[in-house]
Structures are given as structure tokens and as C-alpha cells.
């Protein structure tokens, strides 16, 4: 409870300096929604989503015109706080039984993908002779939770600032590629919403990138991908602890590094928020105060309308967060990655995406 109070106070303090950036992010989100509404025909309308348009507008604004002064705080706030709030509200869409069923059915695939990504990153890192700490950061970033995993792992292995920077840039680049091209690949292969959601949830790196990629495909794909990605996120703490212990045994970790492990960063609290909302939906349906189906609510029309309002709020918070992805990506800085980390990241991302999709299609998950 004390931790929650502290977090809420921190959020309240972040809001005033974030206002200029929030206005910019809001403008991009509104522009993306408006432009998407002008696209004719259902096929083209589905192919070019408001999410993709928002990311592209953000990229263009950031890299052609640059950012207006004092907007970075709002961009960061949108990318972290609004995204997590949107994900929490998504929990109201899904009954707890659906969340558990999807999470458990995908768990073996998730563990296999994480194991493959970690192993491949270490092997490729050795092959291309990049520092073991940099290979580790690329590995956890690709395998578990993108930049959050990198930031959480860095202090436990004594990673240098430039290694963290290279890893973040690598993950950001390949995540951006996924956001733009995976929906196109999915439509070319005529993947179902379920298959695409599983694929995005297991093969794309960061939570924001998973949400962007799957939301660009369909609402149903977003539901599946969110559950799968949050299941991945819950594995972050044990895996990073194990990596820290391995470094300790190898003598690669100082005593001060093990003391730097931050449980606040290891525990994805918004996952608990998502589950709490899912429990609210389940209990509400069981008690007869929330409809099982919002499109056929019976005598619960007001409750259905409320759920639809929360759903629209979740969609728009996510749209704002993904507008912030584009606004927060400086293409110039991605050029500093270097050839070797880029190749390692490419190998891991390509093999992971191929492996995940192949297993899903062969097993009929």
C-alpha cells in the first residue's frame, strides 16, 4: 500500500512538467485518428491503422522538425504512464478465465522463445566478439521485456552506460521495424487474429512495441498479444535474478552490483492492475451487474455503455502512447549502434520471429 501511495505521488509530480509534451502527443494522436478515417475501402482501412499513422507522424515530426522545447517529459510520461494505464483498462475486456487460459496455453512457447533468444544472443555475441555485458543486455531486451529488462539488468551486471545505450538503440530499432512490417507480413500470410496476437506477443520486444504491432492488426490480436506479453513480463524477475547469480559465479559482478538490484523495476506492477481489472469483469458478470457481451447487454445497457467508454479510453491512451514512440525515436541516434551489435540484434530478432511463427502454425496453438 505504501509503495502504491509513493507511486501515485510520483505520478502527480510528473504531470505539470509533462503538459507541453502531452499536448504534442495528443495532437499527433488526434491527427492520426482523423487521417485514418479518411482512408477509403475496408481492405485499405484495415491495412493502414491509426497506430501505424501515429508512429509515422511522430517519427516525421521528431526527425524533420525536431521537438519543441520542454516536450520530452510529456513524451516520456505518455510512453510509460499512459501505455500502462491503457493496458490496465484492457483488463476490463477479458474475463479472468480467458486470461489464464491464454497465458497458460502460450507459456511453453514463451519459455522456448526466451531460452532461444538468450542462447542465440550469447552465441552471436561471442561470434562477433562484442562485450559479454552488451550481449546480455541485447539478450534480455529481445527475450523478455525490451528496454525495461535492459534497464533492470544493467546495474546487476555492472554494465557501462554506452553498453546500455547500444542495447536500447538496438532493441528500439528492431521494435520499430516490427511495428511497421509485422502487420504487413501477417496480412500477406492471411494470419488469423489469434495467430498474429500470439506471434506479436512472443516475438516483439518491448511492451509498447507489442501493443503497437498487434493493435495495428486488429482488436482481437491486441487482446491475445497483451496477455502473452504480460505473461512474458512476469518472468522478468526470476530470469534477471538468475543472470545476476551467473555473473556472480563467473566473477563478472561486483558486490555492489548485486546490491543494486531494484525490485521496483523487476516487478511489472501494471500486470497486477490488468489482472485486477480482469477480476472485476469476471466478478461483475458472475454477480449479474456487468454483461457477458457488451453488444448484447440485455437489461444491462448502462453497464455495457460504461464498459465501452472504458474501452475507448484504453484505446486512446494506447494511441497517445504509441504516438510517443514516434516522437521519442531519434533516427540519428540509432546510427550510433555500430555494425556488430546491429548484426547480433538482427540475428536474434529474425530467428526469434521465424521460430515463433513456425511453432505456432505447426502446433496450431
Give a yes or no: residue 2 inside a domain: no
| Tens-place pLDDT, residues 316-338 | 998 898 888 888 888 777 676 67
88 assigned to some structural domain: yes
Rounded to 5 degrees, φ, ψ at 129 are 55, 45
> Which residue range(s) make up the domain with 295?
17-363
Mean pLDDT on 280-292? 82
Given a cut of 80, whether residue 4 has pLDDT beyond it is no
Give the SS3 label for residue 95: coil
Mean pLDDT of 137-153: 82
The DSSP-derived string for 188-223 is: HTT--HHHHHHHHHHH--SHHHHHHHHHTT-HHHHH
Is residue 97 assigned to a domain? yes
- Torsion over CA: 298, 303, 307, 313 (sign): positive
Asked whether residue 111 is assigned to any structural domain, the reply reads yes
Residue 338 inside a domain? The answer is yes
The answer to whether position 4 is within a domain reads no
Residue 263 has what DSSP assignment?
A: H
**10 within some domain:** no
Domain count, the chain: 1
Q: Is 125 a domain residue?
A: yes
pLDDT tens, residue by residue, 213-268: 898 888 889 889 988 888 888 888 788 888 877 777 766 554 444 445 555 555 56
User: Which pLDDT score, from 0 to 100, does residue 257 have?
Assistant: 47
Amino acid at each position: 500500500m505504501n509503495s502504491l501511495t509513493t507511486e501515485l505521488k510520483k505520478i502527480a509530480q510528473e504531470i505539470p512538467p509533462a503538459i507541453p509534451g502531452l499536448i504534442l502527443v495528443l495532437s499527433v494522436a488526434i491527427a492520426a485518428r482523423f487521417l485514418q478515417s479518411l482512408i477509403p475501402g475496408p481492405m485499405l482501412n484495415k491495412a493502414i491503422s491509426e497506430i501505424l499513422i501515429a508512429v509515422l507522424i511522430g517519427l516525421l515530426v521528431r526527425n524533420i522538425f525536431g521537438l519543441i522545447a520542454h516536450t520530452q517529459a510529456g513524451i516520456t510520461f505518455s510512453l510509460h504512464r499512459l501505455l500502462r494505464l491503457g493496458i490496465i483498462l484492457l483488463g476490463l475486456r477479458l474475463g479472468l478465465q480467458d486470461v489464464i487460459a491464454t497465458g497458460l496455453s502460450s507459456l511453453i512457447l514463451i519459455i522456448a522463445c526466451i531460452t532461444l533468444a538468450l542462447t542465440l544472443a550469447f552465441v552471436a555475441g561471442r561470434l562477433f566478439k562484442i562485450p559479454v555485458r552488451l550481449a546480455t543486455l541485447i539478450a534480455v531486451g529481445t527475450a523478455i521485456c525490451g528496454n525495461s529488462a535492459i534497464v533492470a539488468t544493467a546495474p546487476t551486471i555492472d554494465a557501462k552506460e554506452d553498453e546500455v545505450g547500444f542495447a536500447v538503440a538496438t532493441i528500439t530499432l528492431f521494435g520499430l521495424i516490427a511495428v511497421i512490417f509485422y502487420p504487413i507480413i501477417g496480412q500477406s500470410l492471411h494470419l488469423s487474429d489469434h495467430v498474429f496476437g500470439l506471434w506479436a506477443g512472443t516475438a516483439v520486444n518491448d511492451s509498447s512495441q507489442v501493443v503497437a504491432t498487434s493493435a495495428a492488426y486488429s482488436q482481437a490480436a491486441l487482446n491475445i498479444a497483451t496477455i502473452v506479453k504480460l505473461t512474458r513480463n512476469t518472468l522478468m524477475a526470476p530470469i534477471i535474478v538468475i543472470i545476476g547469480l551467473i555473473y556472480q559465479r563467473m566473477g563478472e559482478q561486483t558486490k555492489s552490483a548485486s546490491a543494486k538490484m531494484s525490485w521496483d523495476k523487476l516487478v511489472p506492477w501494471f500486470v497486477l492492475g490488468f489482472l485486477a481489472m480482469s477480476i472485476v469483469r469476471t466478478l461483475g458478470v458472475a454477480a449479474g451487474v456487468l454483461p457477458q457481451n457488451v453488444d448484447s447487454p440485455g437489461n444491462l445497457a448502462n453497464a455495457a455503455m460504461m464498459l465501452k467508454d472504458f474501452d475507448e479510453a484504453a484505446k486512446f491512451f494506447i494511441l497517445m502512447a504509441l504516438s510517443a514512440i514516434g516522437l521519442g525515436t531519434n533516427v540519428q541516434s540509432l546510427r550510433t549502434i555500430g555494425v556488430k551489435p546491429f548484426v547480433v540484434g538482427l540475428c536474434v530478432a529474425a530467428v526469434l520471429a521465424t521460430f515463433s511463427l513456425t511453432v505456432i502454425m505447426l502446433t496450431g496453438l
